[in-house]
Amino acid sequence: MPTTRTLTWSTIAVAAVLSVVAWMPQERAARTEAVKSNGWIDATATLDPATTPVYEGDAPMNFEFLKDMRKGDALTLSKYSLGAHSGTHIDAPMHFVRDGAPIDKVPLEPLIGPARVIDISDDVQAINAIELNRHHWRGTPRVIFRTRSSLRGWMKSSTFHRDFAYIAPDAAQLLADAGVQLVGIDYISAEQFGAPAPMTHRILLGKGIPIVEGLALEGIRPGDYDLIVLPMKVAGHEGAPARAVLRKRDP
């Protein structure tokens, strides 16, 4: 009997130790990741010619290794060729306003601060004034629309979809008149495809409101966030790819 009891308790002790050992790396990794990210969520579409959509008629993406250590070179060196409006990017006023500010002159204030992510249902293509006013958007300085493009994974598909959800001019006017500082959307244009005139862009950019397009919002829930979205600082041009991150704000 003593021998059996000793073996039983030994087995339990070993099992407990093994359980702790197995748990520790996972817990440490989770804790490290939490500290590293500090709650920030990457809302940037990965630039990849195989998976990133390109607006019809825009410059194609081409990434090339000039040197590659995996092939025996002493270092790895790359060349990128892409349009200014590739992936997650910011439109500066210069895009549709003749004397508008270029991307390197867009101030930091609209690009950093509180933002509200608004869910637009899959069956809505035109985010017009009626649709906008169905949602609680007033009082927030930055408005971001999560649309059918996120629900369908279109920012991860190289196929260009013409029927993406867009911001109609009457909604753009409401946003501009309310003093919104930044507007964002989850496909590579905020304007209706084939629109007779780029009125949404002209309304927002005409008020100096930068537009963030191509956000990756698949895993983002609607609500209030802190936003940081910073474009490449390219002198004298109308737009540039950007890195965008969101962090949920306390209720």
Phi, psi of 247 (to 5 degrees): -140, 130
Which DSSP string do the residues of 213-238 spell out, in sequence order?
Answer: ESB--TTPPSEEEEEEEEE---TT-S
- The closest of 132, 106, 137, 60 to 229, measured between CA atoms, is 106
The residue assigned the tokens 């490449």 is 232
The active-site residue out of 85, 89, 95, 201 is 95
CB 146 within 8 A of CB 119: yes
Assess whether 237 carries a catalytic annotation. Answer: no
Q: C-alpha angle with apex 42: 36 to 47, nearest 5 degrees?
A: 125
Reduce the DSSP state of residue 107 to 3 states and report it.
coil
Catalytic positions, please?
Answer: 95
